[in-house]
Structure 1
């Protein structure tokens, strides 16, 4: 597929290289021509000097036949304007924007524009490593209804089928972390010592789910 990237900083240049390595055609836009020096010497894609929300600049980058567009410049306003232009004017199917302001990111997610709120994401990842129990939620959908939350696992569940835990708390498992690796559970998955459990929840059931998994199973389980 053809991907247009606005911004040739560290993220944009790394993204361009990664996509080209995967076999996709790439065009990179940046208003600073010197920024293209960050691209690998063997980069074979298109580079366009200009503002990423200028229609003519986007057309030079091949936006009219692009399958995807990524706005990863250092400016929130530029990123969101160009992302909306790509999606609403040029009908690009896959559009994502990097946003530093987490509040704005939530607004644009609700408008249907996927965003990566870099500062908030980085800060939350750091907190998760430093204080693992402080932030059990690891993902929330754009409508803010469903989230993936890490739940406590009482030792009494070890050796039990994962389905028993799901039946006890009334929801399903998104994934397990086992020996540092993420795994997708199956109907035959049995919980092991050290497993980290991440479950799909809504705000109205999250407390009940965490209580159920954190408590010892009843004799019926």
Structure 2
């Protein structure tokens, strides 16, 4: 995957290094050339000086071949503007913006831009939002304690009843997307190949639920 990051501060540089260690190609955009020093001498990705909502700058970062975009600069307005430009003009759906103001974050999410507020910020939250092996938050409660996540599942879960899956992961699965249509499964609904699974989970259990669903079900 190719990921473009706007902002090379502590979070942006950490995210860039983590992505590169996972084998992904990375381009980092920042207005200050000095900021790229945070990437370290081993970084092999692209660095572009400029702002992430400038189309020419985005082109230099190879945005047309990007699989995801993270706006993690220090400015809410810049992050959201860049995310909207990338999403609306370059057709990239996998975007996330760092937002300091939680109230505004909720407004932006209604515009279709996933956000992560600084009060609960960690670089791995962006990774979880963007990477295939992670999950994507579809809804968060205002307190930040629980969320509905879109989570990837191992192929071995296919054919199992929703009730059996829930019993193993100790987490409700209130929603599935099947062939582009949302359904509320019953306990007897069988998971089908290609289903997109949503889990309702406490924030602290997100890594555990991801791990359980990414592996084959336990034998009983």
Structure 1 length-normalised TM: 0.59
Distance in 2 separating the partners of 1:176 and 1:53: 31
Query: What residue is the counterpart of 2:66 in the other structure?
Result: 66
Structure 2 length-normalised TM: 0.59
Query: What residue is the counterpart of 1:2 in the other structure?
Result: 2
Residue 147 of structure 2 is aligned to residue 140 of structure 1: yes
Query: What residue is the counterpart of 1:111 in the other structure?
Result: 111
8 Å Cα contact 2:25/2:45 also seen in 1: yes
Structure number with bigger Rg: 1
Query: What residue is the counterpart of 2:132 in the other structure?
Result: none
Residue 37 of structure 2 is aligned to residue 30 of structure 1: no
Cα–Cα, structure 1 residues 35 and 120, in superposed 2: closer, same or farther, change >3 Å? same
Q: Give aligned pairs, total.
A: 155
Query: What residue is the counterpart of 1:94 in the other structure?
Result: 94
Query: What residue is the counterpart of 2:136 in the other structure?
Result: none
8 Å Cα contact 2:145/2:202 also seen in 1: no
Shift of 1:23: 0.7
Q: Which runs of 5+ in 2 are unaligned?
A: 123-141, 150-166, 172-186, 188-198
Distance in 1 separating the partners of 2:103 and 2:202: 28
Residue 39 of structure 2 is aligned to residue 39 of structure 1: yes
The SS at the match of 1:98 is strand
Cα–Cα, structure 1 residues 175 and 138, in superposed 2: closer, same or farther, change >3 Å? closer
Distance in 2 separating the partners of 1:63 and 1:176: 31
Cα–Cα, structure 1 residues 59 and 139, in superposed 2: closer, same or farther, change >3 Å? same
Shift of 1:120: 5.2
Superposed structure 1 runs of 4+ greater than 6 Å apart: 175-178
Query: What residue is the counterpart of 2:81 in the other structure?
Result: 81
Superimposed CA distance per residue, residues 73-93 of structure 1 (whole angstroms, 9 cap, x where no aligned partner): 000000000000000001113
Shift of 1:48: 0.3
The alignment's C-alpha RMSD in Å is 3.8
Distance in 2 separating the partners of 1:94 and 1:138: 23
